[in-house]
């Protein structure tokens, strides 16, 4: 796999050791390290670095015994459990209008990449799915809030989301804003309230250590705060129609907007699973590359697919004259950039056992090669 492929004239993704601090994608500041400082360290595991082939999208040889990983089945099973948990977390109750609006967007489908990433990261270090599920739901609530608000007339002014009218088109702008606000606050409440987890019958009831919950809450809050999602959205709006936006500024927007929540999803799963600090940081870098990859692919799909294929308005970035990777790099270079990000994401997983990391390998491939 590539290990220091030049992506932009101004930077390199994937460089290790002393060069890592100069890389905005791999940069892990003191706050990141502080958040992970109290994570319980599992006793040393034997590390099996395996050569993994990623050509087949649904199954992948994992070891010499011939076992395979069925990615589509894994995704469908996890998504079903996440959907059930989300449905139970937001029952239809008074006041009906706002809860209808919350459920309308939250249960509208979607790939559930972020919650599945959270669960897969927890399982990677030996945690049970039940430990990660409340956090996975919280991540999806936050993501849904960001979509509802992003679609508003004062933001991206979009009419279509997941093949349906956007929330403000269905319920009005005021209810859409409040539904997003309610989902955001519920996300943090849900994590704190679910500290006691009912594991399968063969296991005892397990209480998540309070420091894990605090770390998760801090990670989620940081991902959507004024230094991350909010500021990137402000810069994104300010850059519309500008001809002077460069790749560095575009990367800043999407690392802090799209990539950060994917990163938080993976990191929170690792925290709940009791991953060591070293394990958390490797998965953080994996998710940061994967998150930026998600946005690069999104930009490519916006100009290569129809609204029917995407389930949302195609060509919207062109109409609003937004800075995108195809616009600044050209379509072919944007595709090359996506492949380099994919390689860097996979490189971070070489530290882990190949069979346990299989979902994360496949998730990266799925994000890179998705068609909507």
pLDDT digits (tens, 9 = 90+) for 20-63: 433 434 433 433 443 343 333 333 332 222 322 333 333 343 43
How many structural domains compose the chain? 1
What percent of the chain clears pLDDT 90, i.e. is strictly above it? 52
Give the predicted TM-score (pTM) of the model. Answer: 0.77
Residue 250 inside a domain? The answer is yes
What is the domain extent for residue 147?
70-369
For residues 122-160, one letter each, b for 16 or more C-beta atoms within 10 angstroms of the residue's C-beta and e for the rest, the string is: bbbbebbbbbbbbbbbbbbbbbbbbbbbbbbeeebebeb
Q: What is the pLDDT averaged over residues 108-132? A: 93
Indicate whether 225 belongs to any domain: yes
Residue 140 domain flag: yes
Check whether 170 has a pLDDT greater than 80: yes
Assigned domain for 218 exists: yes
Inform me whether the pLDDT recorded for 214 exceeds 90.
yes
> Which domain CATH number covers 338?
1.10.600.10
In a domain, 52, yes or no: no
Mean pLDDT of 208-216: 89
Tell whether 96 is covered by a domain: yes
43 in a structural domain: no
Q: Is residue 101 in some structural domain?
A: yes
């Amino acid at each position: 796999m590539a290990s220091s492929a030049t992506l932009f004239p101004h930077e390199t993704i994937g460089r290790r050791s002393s060069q890592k601090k100069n890389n905005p994608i791999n940069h892990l500041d003191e706050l990141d390290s502080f958040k992970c400082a109290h994570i319980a360290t599992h006793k040393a595991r034997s590390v099996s670095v395996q050569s993994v082939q990623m050509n087949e999208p649904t199954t992948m040889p994992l070891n010499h015994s011939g076992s395979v990983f069925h990615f589509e089945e894994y995704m469908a099973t996890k998504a079903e459990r996440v959907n059930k948990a989300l449905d139970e977390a937001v029952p239809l109750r008074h006041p009906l209008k706002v809860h209808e609006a919350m459920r309308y967007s939250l249960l509208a489908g979607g790939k559930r990449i972020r919650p599945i990433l959270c669960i897969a990261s927890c399982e990677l270090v030996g945690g049970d799915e039940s430990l990660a599920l409340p956090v996975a739901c919280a991540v999806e609530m936050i993501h849904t809030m960001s979509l509802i608000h992003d679609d508003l007339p004062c933001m991206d002014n979009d009419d279509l989301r997941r093949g349906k009218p956007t929330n403000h088109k269905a319920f009005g702008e005021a209810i859409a804003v409040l539904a997003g606000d309610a989902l955001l606050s519920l996300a943090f409440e849900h994590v704190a309230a679910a500290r006691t987890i009912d594991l399968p019958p063969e296991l005892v009831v397990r209480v998540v250590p309070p420091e894990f919950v605090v770390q998760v809450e801090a990670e989620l809050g940081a991902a959507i705060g004024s230094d991350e999602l909010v500021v990137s959205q402000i810069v994104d709006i300010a850059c519309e129609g500008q001809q002077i936006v460069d790749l560095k500024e575009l990367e800043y927007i999407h690392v802090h907007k799209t990539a950060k929540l994917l990163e938080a999803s993976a990191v929170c799963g690792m925290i709940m699973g009791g991953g060591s600090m070293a394990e958390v940081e490797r998965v953080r870098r994996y998710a940061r590359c994967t998150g930026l990859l998600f946005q690069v692919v999104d930009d490519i799909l916006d100009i290569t697919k129809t609204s029917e294929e995407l389930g949302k308005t195609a060509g919207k970035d062109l109409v609003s004259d937004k800075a995108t990777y195809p616009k600044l790099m050209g379509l072919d270079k944007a595709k090359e950039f996506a492949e380099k990000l994919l390689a860097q994401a996979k490189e971070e997983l070489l530290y882990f056992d190949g069979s346990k990391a299989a979902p994360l390998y496949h998730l990266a491939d799925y994000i890179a090669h998705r068609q909507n």
